[in-house]
Amino acid sequence: RKEVEQDPGPFNVPEGATVAFNCTYSNSASQSFFWYRQDCRKEPKLLMSVYSSGNEDGRFTAQLNRASQYISLLIRDSKLSDSATYLCAYPGTYKYIFGTGTRLKVLA
Amino acid sequence: ETGVTQSPTHLIKTRGQQVTLRCSSQSGHNTVSWYQQALGQGPQFIFQYYREEENGRGNFPPRFSGLQFPNYSSELNVNALELDDSALYLCASSLGNPGLYNEQFFGPGTRLTVL
């Protein structure tokens, strides 16, 4: 089993829609998790951290389900500018362990 | 902008050649991590440098090597380039081991193409 698994997508959604991505992880000892946003051919940028049950920032909500070992990212009222790849990650020893990312396309 | 810079932005090499990529960390950050991101994949950890020493290494062969300088900037060297080395190479800086309380900041990356 991969350490971090994500559905690669793409998720094609209309503007204004609500969309959710899941990310499953194998290391039950992991305490904190991250969602990164990566635009095409650019570096990943931190979107949100999750270290307890959840975190909310405007239209974005991240939740952690330790029992089932997954984290989710919910985007409400999608904007065209939300189109990007969303990577989940958690810190291992010396490094971050990333999933392959989920592509989101928000359509006009 | 994160303050992490990388050079060059793009590079084209042929198989068997050697390449050196450079990274300047954010001011005050003493730890530099290097990642390789192939197309359609997430970043894969290559190694980390802390106080000029390699502090951890991912599953990459010895032809991937690095350096960190007293000003915390870093180099990634790849010898005997292979086609599969074509990727975006990301440098990330942090204050100590990256984690919940030590965010790591990525540079813009160097896109390497091996022909």
For residue B61, cis peptide bond before it (omega within 30 degrees of 0):
no
pLDDT digits (tens, 9 = 90+) for A46-90: 999 988 878 999 999 999 999 999 999 999 999 999 999 999 999
pLDDT at B104: 87
| Token pair of A17 as six digits | 């829609």
Q: Which of B33, B42, B92 sits opposite A99 (nearest CB)?
A: B42
Helix (H, G, I), strand (E, B) or coil at A82: helix
Per-residue pLDDT tens digits for A27-56: 888 888 999 999 998 999 999 998 887 899
Q: What is the Cα gyration radius of chain A? A: 13
In angstroms, the CA B87 to CA B12 distance is 11
Touching check for A97 and chain B: CB below 8 Å? yes
CB atoms within 10 A of CB A68: 9
Name the token pair of B109. 């990356």
Closest CA to B41 of A65, A72, A75, A4: A4
**Interface test with chain A among B89, B91, B97, B106, by most A beta carbons within 10 Å:** B106
Q: Do A100 and B88 touch (CB under 8 A)?
A: no
Q: What confidence score (pLDDT) does residue A76 get?
A: 98
Strand positions, DSSP E, A1-108 = 4-6, 11-14, 19-25, 33-38, 45-50, 54-57, 60-65, 70-75, 84-91, 96-98, 102-107
Q: What is the pLDDT of residue B1?
A: 66
CA angle A51-B57-A84, nearest 5°?
50
Closest partner residue to A95 among B48, B88, B107, by Cβ? B48
DSSP-assigned letter for residue B24: E
Chain centroid to CA B11: 14
How many angstroms away from the CA of A3 is the closest CA of chain B? Answer: 12
Q: What is d(CA B42, CA B38) in angstroms, rounded to the nearest whole number?
A: 7
Dihedral angle computed from the Cα positions of residues B81, B82, B84 and B85, in that order, rounded to the nearest 10 degrees: 0
d(CA A88, CA A102): 9
At B102 the pLDDT is: 76
Report chain A's mean pLDDT, rounded to a whole number. 93
Please report how many Cα atoms fall inside a 13 Å half-sphere around the Cα of residue A45, on the Cβ side.
12
CA distance B106 to chain A (A): 6
Tokens 């007293």 belong to B70
pLDDT for res A29: 84
The minimal CB distance from B100 to the residues A49, A94, A99 is found for A49
How many inter-chain contacts (A to B, CB under 8 Å) are there? 58
A46 CB near a chain B CB, below 8 Å? Answer: yes
Q: What is the pLDDT along chain B (115 residues), one digit of tens a residue?
A: 668 999 999 999 999 999 999 999 998 899 999 999 999 999 999 999 998 999 889 999 999 999 999 999 999 999 999 999 999 999 999 988 777 677 889 999 999 999 9
